[in-house]
Amino acid sequence: MKDKILEKATDLFLKLGFKSVTMDDLANELGMSKKTIYTYFDNKTRLVEESTSYLFSNITNGINNICSLKHNPIVEMFEIRKFIISNLKDESSSPIYQLQKYYPKIHKSLKKEQFTFMQKCVIENLKEGIEEGLFRKNLDIEFISRIYFSGMTAIKDDDFFPPEQFSKIKLMDNYLEYHLRGIVTTKGKKVLTDIIKSNQS
């Protein structure tokens, strides 16, 4: 029952925002009483905390599974992008903004976990790309891994990228291409171009 509540809560939070969804909304969606929900979660803050952990765990497991398939590093980045988009909602409600504003401690903790995980993934991806001759040898790996995370965080900021003007999916596509074009070799550029053409067809 707890997993069912968590799954539905996470879905609603992503669609409507962490502040917008009430416990009454969740109870109505699940067809159960609030009392039942409170049996598993003491309060909404606890539910938000466990929902973000649930989502983060699902995404990291999915990314780890993709990495285990040993695609070339450029293909791997596009596969991860595809997976993330399939798991996050392209909505204008800005759930991350609401999380940061109304649940700052949870947001800060989540951001720290995201940075640690993403930096590790990007560093491994960069090293593999260099070894395979797809990425330039003179890259400052530590710098790029951090600037990549910084950019991914920035494109989620509605003040910089108003949702009525910028689609979240398009932003992710543009940022990934921007990132890769800055680090690829001639060999890597061909792979990147082929993937982009394939995705457009």
Residue range 135-181, pLDDT digits in tens = 999 999 999 999 999 999 999 888 899 888 998 889 999 999 999 99
The predicted structure's pLDDT at residue 122: 97
Judge whether 136 lies within some domain: yes
Neighbours of 144 (CB within 10 A): 18
Which residue's structure tokens are 């780890």? 64
For residues 12 and 25, is the Cβ–Cβ distance under 8 A? yes
Judge whether 9 lies within some domain: no
Judge whether 29 lies within some domain: no
- How many domains is the chain built from? 1
Judge whether 39 lies within some domain: no
Judge whether 174 lies within some domain: yes
State the average pLDDT over residues 48-74: 96
For residues 12 and 21, is the Cβ–Cβ distance under 8 A? yes
- CATH number of the domain bearing residue 80: 1.10.357.10
Q: Can you give the residue range of the structural domain that contains 158?
A: 44-200
**pLDDT one-digit tens code per residue, 82-97:** 998 887 765 545 688 8
Give the containing element (helix H, strand E) for 57. Answer: helix 44-68
The predicted structure's pLDDT at residue 89: 61
